[in-house]
A = this chain, B = another copy of it.
Amino acid sequence: MNAESYVTRVLAEWLVSQRLEDIPSDVHHEALRSLVNIVGCAIGGSTQPAVDIALRALSPFSGPPTAQPLARGERLDPFLASLVNGISSHVHDYDDTTPGNYSHPSSPVASALFAYASANPVSGRDFVHAFVLGFEAESRIGNAVYPAHYDAGWHITGTAGVFGAAVSIGRLLGLSTQQMIWAIGLAATQAAGLREMFGSMGKAFHPGRSAQNGYAAALLAREGFTAGERSLEGPRGFSAVTAAQYDLSKITRGLGETWDLRVNTYKPFPCGIVNHPTIDAAIQIHDEYNPAPEQIAAVRLRVAPLVLDLCNQQNITKGLQGKFSVYHGAAVGLVRGKAGLQEYSDEAVNDPAVKRVREHATAVGDSSITEDQARVEVELTDGRVLTRFIEESIGNLKRPLTDAQLNAKFRDQGVLALPSGQVDRLVDLCWRIDSLADVGELVRAAVPVSVPA
């Protein structure tokens, strides 16, 4: 059998037969890191208007409330819980990124899985296994159609994500190869999500709907709802229809040998990635010298020219504007030593100390500086000059967030919705998810205490 002529079948056979014990330990640990990151993001986004609105519109139609979204009190059916998880975990654009295709891979997969686990007993081991497989399938399918697919205007987080959700739920349901082929087909034929939605709630809707639709695809396939069996490679299948160029060998080559989780990356700051090296430098200066804000006389930034094309706003009053201001990034780094969600609130943007430092900052575009680099120079009122050059920005593959930094990111988001002690217990449960007899325990531990469980 020629692998590229039967990509869907080859992938499905691998997915139903792959064994947890054959997953390398580094891949397994990266899965835990991805789960810690995405659960933190889901909590951080759980109180956003997009979540509240979706629930107001759709929860009157929820089925039996066997499931629960992360960090919310509502009891819902697992489809709607999947949708809510997807919206909350992506709404801040703070989740993970796979560099092979720039999708945000964990949200669709984990959103469906946590919804499933809230409604059905599933061991931590099986859960992590299903996550690894869903992630791998989705990422490989994304790699196969990238970049033509993304360039055409597809939001690949949604279009590839539906496969990840279908596959991971399908694995937990114990689908046969035939059923998995149908699940992939029903995912393919629901693949959707336009980049035209960027800047609206529609963007975060994509991983949510993908999680929900992939979940349904797996359930339908289990009952024998048939689909085209060459949905990835067929002449009217996902790849040919959505990408002017594609490479199907990326789906099947090295299955079980190379793992896309190994190159997953986690956003250190919830703003445009071009600001990251500047923020990184500012935090390092803060941590090393701890200059008092009122001592700062001038901040001089030297950045890649693209930064000024995208993020040159200085006179700002809203948190959202802060995401597009390299000056704000530098200011919160210097003043607060961090740039988490709370540094992109309206309050933070109007914080007098932050505002003062931001207004003392200037920036120069320099084409000798890459988009992973930045130079920050801080002149103090006593004449001292503190400088830091970032060669590779934190969060990229060469300088991944440490486990401790992932914990800090989790806590920073967690306290927006939950008491600090509960956040600590929850992040601990995420790292120990493998040892849980039932992952439902983790979902229940994420319910706000003020809400009746």
**Chain A residues close to B by CB (< 8 Å):** 49-50, 53-54, 56-58, 60-64, 77-79, 152-155, 158, 185-186, 188-202, 205-206, 209, 216, 219-220, 222-231, 234-238, 240-241
Contact = CB atoms under 8 A, between A and B. Distances in A.
A277 B153 CA distance: 43
Given A191-B192, A196-B188, A226-B201, A220 B57 contact: yes
A264 B392 CA distance: 61
Given A58-B216, A64-B60, A78-B61, A196 B226 contact: no
A196 B79 CA distance: 26
Contacts of A77: 61, 63
Copies in the complex: 2
Nearest to A61: B63
A50 B191 contact: no
Given A194-B238, A198-B228, 16 more contacts: A50-B225, A53-B225, A57-B216, A57-B223, A185-B196, A185-B197, A188-B194, A189-B196, A194-B228, A195-B236, A196-B231, A196-B234, A196-B241, A197-B231, A202-B226, A205-B225
A77 B226 CA distance: 24
Nearest to A199: B228
Given A53-B220, A64-B61, A241 B152 contact: yes
Contacts of A188: 194, 196
Contacts of A220: 53-54, 57-58, 205
A447 B259 CA distance: 52
A62 B219 CA distance: 13
A75 B49 CA distance: 32
A194 B228 CA distance: 9
Contacts of A216: 57-58
Nearest to A223: B57
A210 to B, nearest CB: 10
Contacts of A196: 185, 188-189, 228, 230-231, 234-238, 241
Contacts of A236: 153, 194-196, 198
A200 B185 contact: yes
A171 to B, nearest CB: 17
Contacts of A49: 224
A229 B56 CA distance: 22
Contacts of A228: 194, 196-200, 202
A206 B189 contact: yes
Contacts of A197: 185, 189, 227-228, 231
A56 B224 CA distance: 10
B189 A153 contact: no
Contacts of A238: 194, 196
A54 B235 contact: no
A199 B226 CA distance: 9
B237 A194 contact: yes
A237 B63 contact: no
Which residue, A152, A201, A230, A237, has most C-beta atoms of chain B within 10 A? A201
Contacts of A60: 63-64
Contacts of A241: 152-154, 194-196
A230 B197 CA distance: 9
B240 A153 contact: yes
Contacts of A198: 228, 236
Contacts of A223: 53-54, 56-57
Nearest to A232: B196
A139 B440 CA distance: 46
Contacts of A230: 196
A241 B242 CA distance: 8
A231 B155 CA distance: 13
B190 A209 contact: yes
